[in-house]
Structure 1
Amino acid sequence: MNYDKAHELARAIRESEEYRNYFATHQNVNQDAEAKRMFDDFRKRQFELQMKQMSGQAPTQDEMEQFQRLFETISLNPEIRKLLEAERILSQVMEDINRIIAEPLEVLFTDQI
């Protein structure tokens, strides 16, 4: 298989408005020490909750409420809010791309059912 198309897709993603917007908003947050600290803390807590879920443990109601409050707090920062929105949009693009790429494999899964 020739990987030229995969590299072309990677370039297209890097050149896309969605990626460039995400990259720029991420840089803006990283340039503000307080916003970076808040966002890093949010990501750390998000990762911890995801790891807990992946290990089969359900987060407690208290943990979920604390995380929701943290999300609401960081969302008050306009640059972090922009970053979260840019991340959501880029994630949607990546999900769409993954779905399209996986289409040839669907026949493998539907024929075996």
Structure 2
Amino acid sequence: MSNVYDKAHELSRTIRESEEFQQLKQLHEAVEQDEIAKRMLDNFRQLQLNLLQKEQQGQVPTEQEITEAQKQMELVQQHEMISKLMAEEQRVSTLIGDVSKIITEPLEELYGVPDQE
């Protein structure tokens, strides 16, 4: 069993050393150093979190909240550094999602893939 954990730690190191992760790390650090960019991104993420929490509680966001979220999204997308960071976050997320699919293949082979609706 320890071999599985060793391989998992090796995979973790490989991800940390990957071009995708290194680029994400550099962009993240750059945004953290830029006070305006950091504040814009923090505000946007807080707004996203608030909307997600509302949805999870079965509440429907108001028209004003939706409009505000759209404005914030447009604003952060216009900021070059934030836009690059968000694109790189998506790239790393896709990478990790792909790895996760590979890791769960043995279970899917054993139990089958649940019907997707």
1:55 is aligned to 2:57:
yes
- Which residue of 1 is the match for residue 32 of structure 2? 30
| Stretches of 4+ aligned residues off by more than 3 angstroms | none
- Which residue of 1 is the match for residue 43 of structure 2? 41
- Which residue of 2 is the match for residue 71 of structure 1? 73
Q: Give the RMSD, CA atoms, in angstroms.
A: 1.8
After TM superposition, the score normalised by the length of structure 2 is: 0.87
- Tell me the distance in 1 between the aligned counterparts of 2:106 and 2:46: 36
Structure 2, unpaired ranges of 5+: none
After TM superposition, the score normalised by the length of structure 1 is: 0.90
- Tell me the distance in 2 between the aligned counterparts of 1:13 and 1:109: 28
- Which residue of 2 is the match for residue 83 of structure 1? 85
Structure 1, unpaired ranges of 5+: none
Query: What is the identity percentage for the equivalent residue pairs of Structure 1 and Structure 2?
Result: 43
- Tell me the distance in 1 between the aligned counterparts of 2:114 and 2:83: 44
**What's the offset of the Cα at 1:103?**
1.2
Distance change (3 Å), C-alpha of 1:106 and 1:78: same
How many residues are paired up?
113
